[in-house]
Amino acid sequence: MGNAESGVIRTPPIQEKVVPEKNLVANLEKLLYALRLVTHRSTVKGVNRSEVQSERFLSIRTTRAQLLKEFKSTSKADKEARISILLEAHARDEIAEQYLTQGEVKVNIPGLGEQSARYTIMISPESRKTPNTVLYSNPPIFLIPGLSNDIDCVGALAQEIAYMGRKVIVVGMPESIMGRITPEFAEAVSQTPGFGPHTKFFKGAINALVGENNQVELWGHSIGAVIIAEFLNDPKNRARVERAVLLNPASSANISEHSLNLGILNELRNLLSRNLPKYTLSNRGQMEQNDLKANLTRIMLEKVCTLYQVWQNVRVREGGRIIVYSGQKDNLTRSYELFRGDKELEARLRQVNPQMEVIDDPNGFHSTVLIEPQKVISQVFQKQAA
């Protein structure tokens, strides 16, 4: 599938039995289960059962543990509430099965060769669709994850978007564990001030998975947000994008190595106490191209820590909106230094870019599993509808 002549190929998705990239947090499975933070191991109960019995992964097992706790605390006399909880559990299983149906997108960039990454496409189950609902008339959401991340690092966020009624497409970074890059691509990234090679890769991926002339809504987390910003700096790309969402944008502050390390420690500390089971800590040691990918990740990390002058010219088509989510406790990107909800800074942002609005979360961290996806997505949809 895909347009081979344009150098972009989309391979047919296959039903995975487990999440392809290894999550090291799964090594704590017995402890997590003992603490009732995840449910026991079992297969996903989707409606379209295939011969492959997919296993529930930590993210969905965490969600089901929460639903089980809610179900047990609900009175047996309240049958309607109990049925609602069961229906939610089944709907989330259907989305999880879609999530485990993954393919590969390959983009041949002139002079740099072919780069590839995993993708998945999800849409809310038929049982949750409501006739004439505005959400279902919207274009698909194309979600780009953060630094060298596979799709599982934004898996919980993506599944929540689908559960809340939107079609969502996620593509991993080409230098992620499941991706593949060329030495020429890595060299081009090191020689480019911004994120040009990545922007070209994701433009090809959007064309392959959404269609070259179709409308799309762009969401990006961390570096993914910067790539979207760079994509939207090109007037040719704006006509097909009415809305963009930037979550804790990287490259929005100058950060020292010491400050970055403190930010990482802060995230890990809060992950341990808040939502560790949904966090994906990928094992880089079992895949190919380790040295090449590790060097590229180091280069990208330097870019993350440098303020990139790309935000003033971020635009979608006329009448559209760009929403920035900025967590005040995000000490990794420190996006709050540029995107903050105080009236003076917001007025300056509006003057520079009238399409941009900021969701300023005083309790927001960096990782997608710490920013309470349901709450953040609801806030985004409310602003879009206003």
Dump the DSSP string for 74-97: S-TT-HHHHHHHHHHHHHHHHHHH
Residue type, 267: E
Domain 111-385 coded CATH 3.40.50.1820: yes
What residues are paired with 324 via a beta bridge? 246, 358
Per-residue model confidence (pLDDT) at position 300: 92
pLDDT profile of the chain (386 residues), mean per 10: 68 91 90 92 74 84 95 96 94 94 96 97 75 64 95 94 94 95 96 94 97 94 97 94 96 90 90 86 68 92 90 92 94 89 71 87 90 89 87
Q: Which of 161, 169, 239, 153 is nearest to 10 (CA)?
A: 169
Is residue 249 helix, strand or coil? coil
Per-residue model confidence (pLDDT) at position 63: 93
CB-CB contact of 226 with 305 (8 Å):
no
Q: Phi then psi for 109, rounded to 5 degrees?
A: -95, 120
Integer Cα distance of 145 and 173 in angstroms: 7
CB-CB contact of 170 with 141 (8 Å):
no
Integer Cα distance of 340 and 335 in angstroms: 8
Domain segments of the chain as ranges = 4-95, 111-385
Hey, how many other C-beta atoms are within 10 angstroms of the C-beta on 290? Answer: 12
Q: Is the pTM higher than 0.85? A: yes
Structural tokens at position 187: 């060299």
Per-residue model confidence (pLDDT) at position 71: 97
∠ CA 134-140-142 to the nearest 5 degrees? Answer: 140
Longest dimension (CA), the chain: 67
Ranges of beta strands (E only) in the chain are: 8-10, 14-15, 101-109, 113-122, 141-144, 168-171, 217-221, 243-247, 321-327, 356-361
Q: Which of 208, 226, 220 is nearest to 143 (CA)?
A: 220
Integer Cα distance of 368 and 372 in angstroms: 7
Per-residue model confidence (pLDDT) at position 132: 43
Q: Which of 191, 226, 210 is nearest to 8 (CA)?
A: 210
Per-residue model confidence (pLDDT) at position 131: 45
